[in-house]
Amino acid sequence: MAKITIVGAGMMGSALAFPARENGHEVHLVGTHLDREIIDVSRETGRHPKFVSDFPAGIHYHQLEEMEAALENADLVIGGVSSFGVEWFGDYVLPRIPDGTKVLTVTKGLMDMPDGRLLPYPYLWEEKVEQLGKQLHLCAVGGPCTSYELVAHDQTEVAFCGSDLAVLEEIRQLMHTDYYHISLSTDVMGIESAVALKNGYALGIALTIGLNQKAFGLDSELHFNSQAAVFGQAAKEMYTILGMQGVTNLNNFWVGVGDLYVTVYGGRTRLVGILLGRGLNIDEAKAELNGVTLESLVVAVRVARAMKVRAEKGEADLSKLPLLMHVDEILSEKKPVNIPWESFTFVQE
């Protein structure tokens, strides 16, 4: 039996407590400063307030001030914060994790640098660990997985990535179940870039749903031609950007495409895309969703900003990224949705 400590009691971090505990491990769920109510409710009821199933029996729940005791002698620490908590996790949690510990993060995202580079979050944390003079085995999760379906034991395929396959295999042994299937890869840049890119592109696909509701009525039948057209363009543009990221092994492209699919068909990104397609601007859409965090918006704007820098340096052709550029216009300039359909076409000999 291993000791697994999850820091961040949001939906995905909490969902990973299910396979971890069901495998018989000692599981500690630590809330951040934003998760106090979640921890209180989970302690009292045995259920996360947003889940319909109880946690497996025997999980230990902790408020943030109890974190260091929960981290002591942990075999695996899982970072369950959103992209808005990346810097906090690096500044507050990483320094408190004992040397030699395996760390697995579920946080998906990219940070744009002034020179146009896009760095996955594990790269940023590696720099932090080096500055601290610590030795941690940093790994990450990528792939199509929604928290509530993982809790429901829906068959799920993900990839764990990191620099050391032996460490990845040890983590896989701790976490895999008959419904949680785990591939392993040392391609951190490829997997983490792919699963981050899908956020902005899922928003672009969801625009078509709102456009059709606006044109044919909220109760009209779904139209799939337009969704498929934008999905195909999204895949092309993701492929292009992955090449610019220096990713040469595109076998892991499936992780991003699968994640793109599941994000289009469920979750917050779908909702905001539909609202924008109906005609709301981004401020109105955010107000409609009443403060729901939207990581997809952050990723889309960062990637577009990086591509513009690369274009100025002659390293990118923005005409090959029309969907990304339009999503950025909608988010950054509050332009109305006007999908550039004709720019998706091509002539090939």
Q: What pLDDT, on the 0 to 100 scale, is given for residue 276?
A: 96
pLDDT score of 115? 96
Q: Residue 250 — very low, low, confident or very high, per pLDDT cuts 50/70/90?
A: confident
In the predicted structure, residue 210 carries a pLDDT above the cut 70: yes
pLDDT of amino acid 182: 98
**Per-residue pLDDT band at 91 (split at 50, 70, 90):** very high
CB 103 within 8 A of CB 77: yes
Predicted confidence band of residue 249 (pLDDT cuts 50, 70, 90): confident
Average pLDDT value for residue range 186-202: 94
Which of 216-225, 243-252, 286-295 is the least confident region? 286-295
291 pLDDT band, cuts 50/70/90, is low
pLDDT of residue 292: 64
pTM of the model: 0.93
The vertex-301 CA angle with 224 and 123, nearest 5°, equals 110
Q: Is the pLDDT of residue 293 over 70?
A: no
The answer to whether 96 and 128 are in contact (CB under 8 A) is no
Predicted confidence band at 265 (pLDDT cuts at 50, 70, 90)? confident
What does the alpha-carbon distance between residue 151 and residue 66 come to, in Å, rounded to a whole number? 25
> What would the mean pLDDT of 196-214 be, rounded to a whole number?
95
- Between CA 68 and CA 295 the distance in angstroms is 28
